[in-house]
Every structure is written in C-alpha cells, then in structure tokens.
Structure 1
Amino acid sequence: MHARLQEAIVDGSLAPGEQLRDAELAERLGVSRTPVREALLELAQAGLVQATPGRSTVVAPIDPGALRDAQAVVGALHALAVRTATPRMTTRDLDAMRAANAAFRAALSAGDIDGALEADARFHRVALEVCANAAAAAVIARYEPVLRRVERLRFASDEAAASAERHDRLVALCAAGAADDAARLAESAWQSLTISPAPTEQDPS
C-alpha cells in the first residue's frame, strides 16, 4: 500500500496539492481504510504528504527546504555506501553498474522517464548492496523518494545526459579503487538536484 501510493506521488499520478481522502483511496485500491491511513502517515513522515489535523490531507508540493534536507542525508549515505563498497567491488558488480547505465541511456533516448528512473535506481543500488549497510539502506529508502520527484524533472530535461556521464565517471573511479573520489562524486549527484521556484506537474523543464 505504502509503495503504491509513494509511486503514484513520485510519478505524478497524484499531483502536488491533490486531496487524499482515505475512503476514496481505499475503494480505488480495494483495501480497508486502515492500511491507507497508515501509509499516508508514513508518507507524511517522509515529506511526500501534508496532513493537517482537522483539515484535508494533500500531496505535498516539491518543497526546496525538504529537498535540501533529503539531499544532505541521502547524499551523505550514498557517499558512505560508495566509499565502503569500492574496495569490495568485483568485476560482476562493475558490469552491473555499466549495464544499468546503458539501460539508463537507452531509456533517455526513448523518452522513457520511468525506465530511466528504474535504471538509475539499479545503478546506485549496486554500491548499496555491496556495502551491506542495512541502516544506510533503510534511511535512503525513506527519504530518496523526495529526490526522485525532482529527478523525474531532470531526466525529462537537457540535464539528463550529464547524469549518464557522471555514472561513467563513477564506474571508472570505483574500478580504479579511488574510494574517496568516488564517494565525493556519488554525493554530488544528489547535491546537484535543483528545482525552479514554482514547479508544476505541467512544467517538466
């Protein structure tokens, strides 16, 4: 339930400012209201939903402050993962990163933003899995969706090619065993995400 609602917010199916009525969502999803309420509470804690007591619950706008907070945490933990994983990476791990980046480029060329997001997630997941830090993975999973909303805008813009090039550099640094440089580059990928002052779902630039 949580994953389905989160995906709908990240992909824009549930737009910023849209009201979220637990009864309507429960009927649409074929479940009781209790898991919907629990999911909305978790999404509010992650910054994807705004819930005001006595008032309506809505999809949160893409907020610059929430973005900065998520960037600081997610970026630092991805850096930790890459720094830890780099000396442990095998040829198979590096090949998995290269394959994910190839899929990422192919999705961008086809205009498949959902495919690009999935391939980008696979790329970064390699280091997370190799480092085997469950605490880091759990915190990233909680706050990364805030950034994925902005990544969707990036991957639909002219900035998308720079992400693929950054992936290439990261693989090269990991292959060379340059753990600190790789960690800095991994962190910069998240810190470089920006939004316009008033983004809307109609304006993907």
Structure 2
Amino acid sequence: MKAFICGRTRVHFEVRHGQVVSRKSLKLPKDQREEGDCWIRTKEKDPICLSFGVADFKVREGHRLSVFYASNPVMHSRVVVLIHNHDLGTNDFPMRGELLFDHVIGTSIWTEWIILSLLPALGFSFYYGIQCVVPSLLCWGLATLLRSRRRARVIPALHAHIDTLGKVDAARHMVARSISRDVETATA
C-alpha cells in the first residue's frame, strides 16, 4: 500500500481481507485468545479479533471485511484505522484524531532536541540564583507550540489519506466482484 508522508512523518499502511467467522470468541489455544466484538478469518487462514468504534456496525457471519492497519517503523506500533464492510458498504474508524496521532505518529525528534537544548538554562538559573520558572515555561511552551502545530498539519492530511485508501479499496473490490459475476453469467 502507499505510505503516508507528510514532512518527515512516514506511516505505512497494510490491508488484510477476510470473512466474518463469528461474533463470539473462537475456540483457540489460550495464547491466541482475545476479547473483541468480531472474529474474521483472512485469506491466509489467520484469525483476527476486531473491536469496532461504532456500537452497532451490523456485521454478520459471512460478511467480507477489509481491515486497514497503520504502522510506524520508528515507534514500532500497529493499529487498526479503518474497517470496511463490503457487503453493506459501510466504514468504521476505530481510531481517529488525537488517539491516532499519539499511537502512530508520536512526538517529533525535534521537540525532544529543543527540550534537551534548553535544559542547561535550568542549570544556570539554579547556579546564579535566577528563578527557574522562566526557562521551564519557555521550554514547555515551545514544545507544546511545535506539537500543536504539527498535529494541526498532520491529522487532517492523515484522515484524508485513510479515506482515500478506503474508497480505492471499495472500488477495487466492486470491480473484482462485477468481473467475477460476468464470468459466472458467461459460463452459465
């Protein structure tokens, strides 16, 4: 899948297609059991447990789902960002906004460098008897400002990218389904 790149932020996406097996827990070994709303079995025969952000996603056994994962190699995290139900044509976004930013993107390395570079100011303020409140507030305010500006820039672009991935996958699935129906009707 196409990676999301915004400045120095890079997020990789992966999609897994599968079919709903059960709305209850499967009989799996104890080390593979998870609590969740739905179990799907992928084409690779792997069971995946999904929890939905919407209370009633109307998933039934036999429905085909596409599950989109976002991962960041720097943070070593992987989260579900989009679940598309091909039978009903509905989407669920289990993780949006601030949570997605915190789990997938995280803090910029530049913010950490700014904080580290301002730490000697605290040492000087203690040594010379100057109040240490001003450098601390300066450090905290600058880091917060940079982080909020980065959030405001990256989050809308990331949501637009996820929506585009969902639309492309839905269109690809509809074309593949119509082609398979044409082959079935031509041979019948």
Which bin holds the TM-score, normalised by the shorter protein? under 0.3
Structure with more strand by fraction: 2
Structure with more helix by fraction: 1
TM-score normalised by L of structure 1:
0.21
TM-score normalised by L of structure 2:
0.23
